[in-house]
Amino acid sequence: MLPARVFSVAPLALVILALSGCSFLWGCTDTTAERGEAGVRVQVVDTDGQPLGVTAAVVDWSLEPHPQVPSEGDRVHFRFRFDGAEEYSDPAVDACAVDKERVALGCRTVHSSGAWSEPDGALTGDEWLVVEHPEQVAGVLLIPNDRSYDPRTCETDIKDGGGTHPPEPAGMGDQL
């Protein structure tokens, strides 16, 4: 028989462990958000799919040599715009050059912090995408999932890790 003292201390120990953040009792779980539908203009969403109040848009794009390496041939030069982004929030979305069937030919992440402020409060910027076959590019699309914050994983931090993570970045060959 266990003394009554053990039974009175056990609940207290469990409360202390729970409050300290120890997760060995509850387990740590990682999940991945679903990739949103790509578009020329998207509402940026967090990992729970909730709108952040920010719109990202491709303003225009063209094929042209990059001014610093013109000998490398045409690249995709595109301009983007973030509406509703606050300076400190720095939302980020993936931008992909796609062919006529919306297959990604090349992608990169664009951050609102890489843009400059316009008189109307929007943040605008431009980027370059390298693609193997520029002649196949039919447009540039944005993926609405915010990539600015990705919490630690259970693998890297069992105590404080876990939660919902952004979807894997889009890459060449992905159907958008």
Mean pLDDT of the chain: 86
170 contacts: CB under 8 Å, gap ≥ 6:
35, 38, 94, 96, 104, 107, 143, 176
Tens of pLDDT, residues 108-130: 999 999 899 999 999 999 999 99
Tens of pLDDT, residues 31-74: 888 999 999 999 999 988 999 999 999 999 999 999 999 999 99
How many CB atoms are closer than 10 A to CB 152? 16
Q: Looking at residue 11, what is its pLDDT? A: 53
Q: Looking at residue 24, what is its pLDDT? A: 47
Residue-level length of the chain: 176
Burial (CB < 10 A; 0-12, 13-18, 19+), residue 12, is exposed
Q: Looking at residue 3, what is its pLDDT? A: 57
The DSSP bridge partners found for residue 112 are none
Alpha-carbon distance of 103 to 64, in angstroms, equals 21
Q: Which residue has the higher pLDDT, 12 or 89?
A: 89
Structural contact between residues 143 and 38, judged by C-beta atoms closer than 8 angstroms: yes
* Stretch among 48-57, 77-86, 146-155 having the lowest mean pLDDT: 146-155
Alpha-carbon distance of 79 to 119, in angstroms, equals 17
Tens of pLDDT, residues 140-150: 999 999 998 87
Cα dihedral sign, 149-153-157-162 = positive
